[in-house]
């Protein structure tokens, strides 16, 4: 056995430091050579606009092979282009290639003028209007809702309120049972005075939420990630992908105060959705009203929305056709990981094709 | 393009400075290599070696500072975070250096880690990581004092002892890092003594008519600030103590690796180990109910300060011909309700039209 630290070599330490410097210099050269960080590049057209919200229809360059249109509903936190972050790892492009007819909601950036928007306004107002626009445009009585994260919770609530308008429900990493303390956000939110937060800020700054997300893994997200980045800075495409992710992470819209107040108080703190006590507007939300086919996707290593919060949905709905899909990875991996492209997107497509309408497949619009 | 040209001019100058630094540092590095271990003099060479980064990073940030567009902002932010990450990396290196020296002299042991750790540097690194701003509290106290000074000249010196106590408190943090929780009590003692001998006096001042409301609100704000300060100290102490515990584990783990016969671990491996152990240790802290409660209380305390500050601002601005925050809130509420009503009516109208058509 060697004596402790006998093999220490000072030259190695100098070499390591020197390498960091070299990487930093070369990385900065690559950084300043990047003109544009393009995200959300899949072609789409605007089909509806209301206040800050925009509804887009993705251009299907091939043939639509599943005749039930799909509305993608992202969370109010962060931006929906996560699903089309980089062209070679885009869930949107992947689903389009599988013949799906896709729509997506961009919630926009709330300002203080939006501070009074409630959960009811987002779900029974904006979301309901978007669903109606698509139903009218496509001639379908029912459409598929595909909700992501908080957007999945919204879709679940909406499907319970309007089951007659929803053909299939797909939820991805969406929280429903908030009683768990598995995820730090779930534990922290329970001791947060949300009334003081909303009454003080009105519209909660995106930076405030980001600070919370960074605290989940402070050393990795504040230091380790950037030190690791130095290893890829000489490859422009890898660096560009890193920057795309950075752009998305810190592109955080503020949160309309009243909506956030209700979401934290009633869901995170009161767990009312599971208890059947959540009220949206004047209506009680009963998850048993969800009777359409359900595909509930969770990520086994999700540190933001732990499986304990997502999995219980299948036991709470009234659907008989319900599937639980385990994605082996983390929250973000669901959207941009290679497994997401190779396994998850095809699985969603297959599941939806099997539950399409019986009418003839529509032609490309 | 002018901006690009300016950027590269600055860039070239920065490169020249780097070469100068490198030349100078190389000499010292050589001395360090030859002289290390005998009297510790060689260590200074490493400090200068690292200055290459600071001059270079400053130059890069200056060059990027005024270049517009959204994407440039992302690049600038990323570069800033990368440099900040690298600075933390190097800060860890500074902490690592005395350990290196001990390794060289074969005097290191996990038990002696405290002697090898510079608490001030460790605190600086944690401050950077968690965004603690030691100046923020004294700035807030100073701002409150200015408010009072603006309000009336007769109390100009009123807040100074309290502000001084606050500043003194914020400087006591390194002592906390060294693991002396009793210093926490000293902070409170100093602070409240100063508070009592200054702010406390105002309660003996006769009522002063319509301005009394402002005074009371200001006092309430100062009271909130002191609650926030106390919570902040508790919170930071919790974070620093956890950080020290984590560092102890890192040193133990590194020593174990080498004792078990592994080759000397590189600084990169040490860094990875440091990240891994810290994440695990802090995660264990973050998961506790105590931490969650403390974080919630700290947030509430900070929000109370902010809320009273806004109220006070409104009182001072009330006589000016501008829309106040609360007035804008009323306006937003009215617009929101009207829009909702109009949307409802439009929807109903559409339904009626469809019914008539059918």
ipTM of the complex: 0.86
Torsions phi, psi for A283 (to 5 deg) = -105, 140
Give the closest residue to B80 by CA, choosing from A33, A205, A243: A243
pLDDT value of residue B30: 41
d(CA A303, CA A185) in angstroms, rounded, equals 9
Residues of A in contact with B64 (CB under 8 A): 32
User: Does residue B84 surpass a pLDDT of 90?
Assistant: no
Beta pairing, strands A166-172 & A143-148: parallel
- Tell me which of A137-141, B94-98, B341-345 is least confident: B94-98
| Residues A37, B60: C-beta atoms closer than 8 Å | no
- Over residues A89-97, the mean pLDDT reads 95
Three-class secondary structure of residue A106 per DSSP: strand
User: Does residue A33 surpass a pLDDT of 60?
Assistant: yes
Higher local confidence (pLDDT), A183 or B259: A183
- Over residues A120-149, the mean pLDDT reads 97
| Residues A181, B282: C-beta atoms closer than 8 Å | no
Q: Please say whether the dihedral angle defined by the alpha carbons of residues B78, B80, B85 and B89, taken in this order, is positive or negative.
A: positive
pLDDT band at B252 (very low <50, low <70, confident <90, very high): confident
Higher local confidence (pLDDT), B186 or B226: B226
User: Does residue A187 surpass a pLDDT of 80?
Assistant: yes
Instruction: Spell out the residues 6+ positions from residue B206 whose beta carbon is closer than 8 angstroms to its own.
Output: none
Contact A297, A171 (CB under 8 A): yes
Alpha-helical regions (H) of chain A: 10-32, 91-97, 119-120, 128-138, 150-161, 184-190, 194-201, 206-214, 218-219, 225-229, 236-250, 257-262, 272-275, 307-310, 313-316, 333-336, 338-339, 345-354
Q: Which of residues 293-322 of B touch A (CB under 8 A)?
A: 293, 295-297, 299-300, 303-304, 306-307, 310
How much is the mean pLDDT over chain A? 90
d(CA B52, CA B86) in angstroms, rounded, equals 13
Instruction: Spell out the residues 6+ positions from residue A235 whose beta carbon is closer than 8 angstroms to its own.
Output: A30
| Closest Cβ opposite residue A250 in set B52, B77, B339 | B77
pLDDT value of residue A269: 97
Long-range contacts of B17-22 (CB under 8 A, 24+ apart): B17/B55, B17/B56, B17/B59, B18/B52, B18/B55, B18/B56, B21/B48, B21/B51, B21/B52, B21/B55, B22/B52
Q: DSSP string of B149-160?
A: HHH-GGGTTTTH
pLDDT value of residue A284: 97
Q: What is the pLDDT of residues B217-233, one digit of tens each?
A: 777 777 787 788 888 88
- Over residues A176-189, the mean pLDDT reads 94
pLDDT band at A68 (very low <50, low <70, confident <90, very high): very high
| Residues B82, A226: C-beta atoms closer than 8 Å | yes
| Closest Cβ opposite residue A20 in set B86, B108, B130 | B86
d(CA A331, CA A173) in angstroms, rounded, equals 7
Beta pairing, strands A143-148 & A44-50: unpaired
What stretch of H or E contains B46? helix B43-64
User: Does residue B171 surpass a pLDDT of 70?
Assistant: no
Catalytic residue among A66, A130, A149, A155: A149
d(CA A273, CA A265) in angstroms, rounded, equals 11
The answer to whether residue A149 is catalytic is yes
Residues of A in contact with B333 (CB under 8 A): 116
- Over residues A200-215, the mean pLDDT reads 91
| Closest Cβ opposite residue B328 in set A112, A190, A211 | A112
Contact A293, A168 (CB under 8 A): yes
- Tell me which of A118-122, A178-182, A325-329, B64-68 is least confident: B64-68
Higher local confidence (pLDDT), B52 or B165: B165
Q: Please say whether the dihedral angle defined by the alpha carbons of residues A329, A332, A333 and A335, taken in this order, is positive or negative.
A: positive
Contact B193, B116 (CB under 8 A): no
Higher local confidence (pLDDT), B113 or B33: B113
- Over residues A61-79, the mean pLDDT reads 95
Q: How near does any CA of chain A get to the CA of B94, in Å?
A: 12
| Closest Cβ opposite residue A8 in set B264, B268, B283 | B264
- Over residues A104-126, the mean pLDDT reads 97
Structure tokens at A362: 């529509």
- Over residues B171-197, the mean pLDDT reads 55
Contact A343, A94 (CB under 8 A): no
User: Does residue B64 surpass a pLDDT of 60?
Assistant: no
Contact A327, A321 (CB under 8 A): no
pLDDT value of residue B309: 81
Hey, is the C-beta of B78 within 8 angstroms of any chain A C-beta? yes
| Residues A222, B93: C-beta atoms closer than 8 Å | no
Structure tokens at B326: 């609360």
Contact A103, A74 (CB under 8 A): no
User: Does residue B169 surpass a pLDDT of 60?
Assistant: no
Residue in chain A nearest B335 by alpha carbon: A113
pLDDT value of residue B152: 42
User: Does residue A56 surpass a pLDDT of 70?
Assistant: yes
| Residues B77, A246: C-beta atoms closer than 8 Å | yes
Give the closest residue to B237 by CA, choosing from B161, B283, B169, B189: B169
Instruction: Spell out the residues 6+ positions from residue A296 whose beta carbon is closer than 8 angstroms to its own.
Output: A171, A174, A310, A311, A313, A314, A322, A323, A324, A325
pLDDT value of residue B268: 75
User: Does residue B61 surpass a pLDDT of 60?
Assistant: no
Q: What is the pLDDT of residues A291-323, one digit of tens each?
A: 999 999 999 999 999 999 999 999 999 999 999
pLDDT value of residue A2: 34
Backbone dihedral region for residue B180 (phi beyond 0: left; psi -120 to 50: alpha; all else: beta): beta
pLDDT value of residue B63: 46
- Tell me which of A116-130, A232-246, B44-58, B334-348 is least confident: B44-58
Size of interface A-B (CB pairs under 8 A): 195
Give the closest residue to A196 by CA, choosing from B97, B318, B304: B304
pLDDT value of residue B168: 59
Residue given tokens 């509420």 in the structure block? B333
How much is the mean pLDDT over chain B? 67
pLDDT value of residue A75: 97
Structure tokens at A357: 């309408």
């Amino acid at each position: 056995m060697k004596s402790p630290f006998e093999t220490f070599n000072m030259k190695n330490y100098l070499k390591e430091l020197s390498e960091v410097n070299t990487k930093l210099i070369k990385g900065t050269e690559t950084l300043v050579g990047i003109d544009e960080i393009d995200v959300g590049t899949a072609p789409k057209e605007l089909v509806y606009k209301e206040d800050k919200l925009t509804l887009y229809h993705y251009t299907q360059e091939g043939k639509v092979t599943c005749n039930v249109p799909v509305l993608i509903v992202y969370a109010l936190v962060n931006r929906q282009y996560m699903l089309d972050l980089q062209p070679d790892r885009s869930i949107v492009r992947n689903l389009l290639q599988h013949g799906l007819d896709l729509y997506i909601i961009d919630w926009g950036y709330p300002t203080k003028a939006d501070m009074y928007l409630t959960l009811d306004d987002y779900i029974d107002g904006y979301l309901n209007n978007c669903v109606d626009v698509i139903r009218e445009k496509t001639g379908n009585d029912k459409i598929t809702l595909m909700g992501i994260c908080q957007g999945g919770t919204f879709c679940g609530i909406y499907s319970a309120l309007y089951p007659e308008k929803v053909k299939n429900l797909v939820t991805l990493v969406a929280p429903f049972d908030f009683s768990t303390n598995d995820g730090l956000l779930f534990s922290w939110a329970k001791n947060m005075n949300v009334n003081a937060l909303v009454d003080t800020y009105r519209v909660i700054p995106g930076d405030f939420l980001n600070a919370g997300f960074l605290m989940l893994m402070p050393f990795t997200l504040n230091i380790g990630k950037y030190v690791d980045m130095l290893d890829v800075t000489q490859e422009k495409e890898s660096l560009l992908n890193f920057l795309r992710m950075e752009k998305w992470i810190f592109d955080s819209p503020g949160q309309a105060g009243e909506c956030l107040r209700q979401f934290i108080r009633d869901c995170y703190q009161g767990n009312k959705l599971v208890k059947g006590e959540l009220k949206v507007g004047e209506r009680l939300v009963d998850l048993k009203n969800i009777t359409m086919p359900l595909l509930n996707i969770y990520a086994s290593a999700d540190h933001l929305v732990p499986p304990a919060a997502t999995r219980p949905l299948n036991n709470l709905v009234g659907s008989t056709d319900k599937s639980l899909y385990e994605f082996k990875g983390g929250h973000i991996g669901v959207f941009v990981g290679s497994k997401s492209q190779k396994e998850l997107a095809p699985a969603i497509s297959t599941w939806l094709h099997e539950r399409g309408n019986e009418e003839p497949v529509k032609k490309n619009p | 393009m002018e901006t690009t040209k300016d950027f590269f001019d600055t860039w070239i100058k920065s490169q020249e400075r780097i070469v100068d630094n490198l030349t100078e540092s190389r000499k010292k590095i050589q001395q360090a290599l030859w002289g290390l271990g005998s009297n510790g003099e060689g260590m200074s060479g490493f400090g200068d070696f690292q200055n290459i980064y600071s001059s270079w990073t400053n130059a890069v940030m200056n060059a990027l500072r005024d270049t517009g567009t959204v994407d440039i902002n992302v690049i600038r932010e990323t570069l800033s975070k990368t440099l900040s990450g690298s600075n933390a990396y190097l800060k860890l290196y500074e902490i690592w250096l005395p350990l290196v020296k001990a390794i060289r002299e074969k005097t290191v042991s996990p038990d002696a880690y405290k002697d090898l750790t510079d608490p001030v540097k460790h605190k600086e690194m944690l401050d950077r990581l968690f965004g603690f701003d030691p100046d923020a509290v004294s700035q807030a106290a100073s701002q409150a004092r200015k408010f009072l000074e603006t309000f009336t000249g007769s109390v100009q010196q009123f807040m100074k002892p309290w502000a001084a106590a606050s500043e003194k408190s914020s400087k006591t943090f390194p002592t906390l890092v060294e693991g002396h929780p009793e210093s926490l009590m000293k902070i409170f003692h100093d602070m409240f003594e100063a508070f009592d001998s200054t702010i406390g006096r105002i309660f003996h001042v006769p009522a002063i008519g319509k301005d009394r409301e402002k005074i009371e609100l200001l006092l309430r704000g100062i009271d909130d600030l002191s609650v926030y300060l106390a919570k902040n100290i508790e919170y930071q102490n919790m974070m620093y103590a956890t950080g020290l515990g984590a560092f102890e584990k890192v040193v133990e783990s590194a020593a174990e690796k080498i004792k078990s016969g592994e080759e000397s671990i590189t600084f990169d491996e040490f860094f990875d180990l440091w990240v891994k152990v810290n994440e695990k240790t802090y995660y264990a802290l973050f998961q506790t109910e105590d931490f969650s409660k403390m974080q919630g209380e700290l947030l509430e305390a900070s929000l109370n300060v902010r809320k009273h500050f806004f109220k006070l601002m409104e009182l001072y601005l009330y006589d000016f011909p501008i829309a106040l925050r609360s007035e804008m809130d009323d306006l937003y509420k009215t617009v929101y309700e009207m829009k909702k009503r109009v949307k409802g009516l439009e929807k109903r109208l559409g339904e009626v039209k469809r019914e008539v058509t059918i």
